[in-house]
Amino acid sequence: MEEHNSYSDVTPEIVRLAELSREAGVIDSELFTKYDVKRGLRDLNGKGVLAGLTNISDVRATKMVDGKSVPCDGHLFYRGYEVNDLVEGFHKDHRFGFEEVTYLLLFNKLPDKQELAEFEKLLIYYRSLPTSFVRDIIMKAPSKDMMNTLARSILTLYSYDDRADDVSLPNVLRQCLQLISLCPMLSIYGYQAYSHYHDGNSLFIHQPMTEGSMAENILHILRPDSSYTPLEARILDICMILHMEHGGGNNSSFTTHVVTSSLTDTYSVMAAAIGSLKGPRHGGANIKVMQMFEDMKKEVKDWTDEEEVSRYLERLLSKDAFDHAGLIYGVGHAVYSKSDPRAIILKSFVEKLSEEKGLHKEFELYNLVEKLAPYVISGERQMYKGVSVNVDFYSGFVYNMLGLPTELYTPIFAIARMVGWSAHRMEELANNGKIIRPAYKTVCQEKEYVNLADRT
């Protein structure tokens, strides 16, 4: 039994003080309307407030018709190339795409064969952790949260870097490439340590591959026997490409710009971005999707019955099922309305993997929920725009079929998004902009000071 830590207790005194803090923090919602403040920096249609410019990626969910902006099928572009074209390109050649798309996002060009081969060798070279890092850092005080472990490990790498604070572009690029390559080891070794010390499972630490793709290396160091099928590795490769980047306005990429603009070091910037992605409103959604479906499979007797599945979805919205949050996880997106292109791409590969794993019935249930959820939501709630499944809807199912523990779902997202964060950090530094400091309007009233003896 673990020793009780009294400093973790939420005492009645803390509860009382927290209520005072809550009361002090509440702002009349009518003031946001009065001063035209966009809460969450978005309007009612989900359109973000313009806060900067980027040349890295583009997220499109509307088109102009007769001078008006109307919803359309979603499109995602990396450096001007549509993502589904990139995926189709390397898929038809039976190649892995992570390294190629990393090159594209960082350098704004598709590499030729020689450039790609040299870049792949560079990423493999950077897979080596400092001597004794696993023993001295990862194995000590393992956290139950792998995003915490990843952030802590990245911050610790600062101490091993002789040029940690150098923000020149060549040095920052070197740091970013190293972190892109090291994130799988930091995450998975952290999970192995936690699984061993807290759950009593066998401990195994595989050395990273000295060849092969990012996806292959992840499955190699994760699995006890290091084995995987070609389909498994290729689908993981596609999952990571679809999670690599999503515009400058998503919470963690915006965090990257904000913290980079202060000219702090790369390790601090990436730890801040990880802290953002860790939040369930951002990177943790696919875990909720998986948990929701596990509950659904228990509650719904006939997975093919549209009426029974619809009733369960209605119960979710009415806070009568699963976690009583009133949400159908994996459905809806801040930008996309008619469709999320990442979900469409992923779905085409998910069915193949479900057949390989003997889980086609589960896939059909996902397919049915994708069909029914928009109708159920529109029947229960006022909609300002359309709604469709997002990439998290299927990615959790993929990770489950790949045998990834849920503790690693969000770190896999972070491993992929490290590429996008790196591109945004380089872009912010290249433009040598001002420190990002948006305005906040104060609505507090001026008060006369009261002496301590006169306060009641």
Which residues are marked as active site?
333, 392
Alpha-carbon torsion (149, 151, 155, 161), positive or negative = positive
Q: What is the 3-state secondary structure (H, E, C) of 249-295?
A: CCHHHHHHHHHHCCCCCHHHHHHHHHHHHHCCCCCCHHHHHHHHHHH
User: CA dist 420 to 74, 129, 154, 308, 368, Å?
Assistant: 19, 22, 17, 41, 33
Q: Characterize 224-260 residue by residue with b for buried, 16 or more Cβ atoms within 10 angstroms of its Cβ, and e for exposed.
A: eeeebeeebbbbbbbbbbbbbbbbbbbbbbbbbbbbb
Say how far apart CA 145 and CA 198 lie, in whole Å.
Answer: 12
Q: Characterize 17-33 residue by residue with b for buried, 16 or more Cβ atoms within 10 angstroms of its Cβ, and e for exposed.
A: eeeeeeeeeeeeeeeee
Say how far apart CA 400 and CA 274 lie, in whole Å.
Answer: 22
Q: Which tokens in the block code for residue 114?
A: 């020689």
Q: Which tokens in the block code for residue 37?
A: 């403040």
Say how far apart CA 78 and CA 345 lie, in whole Å.
Answer: 15
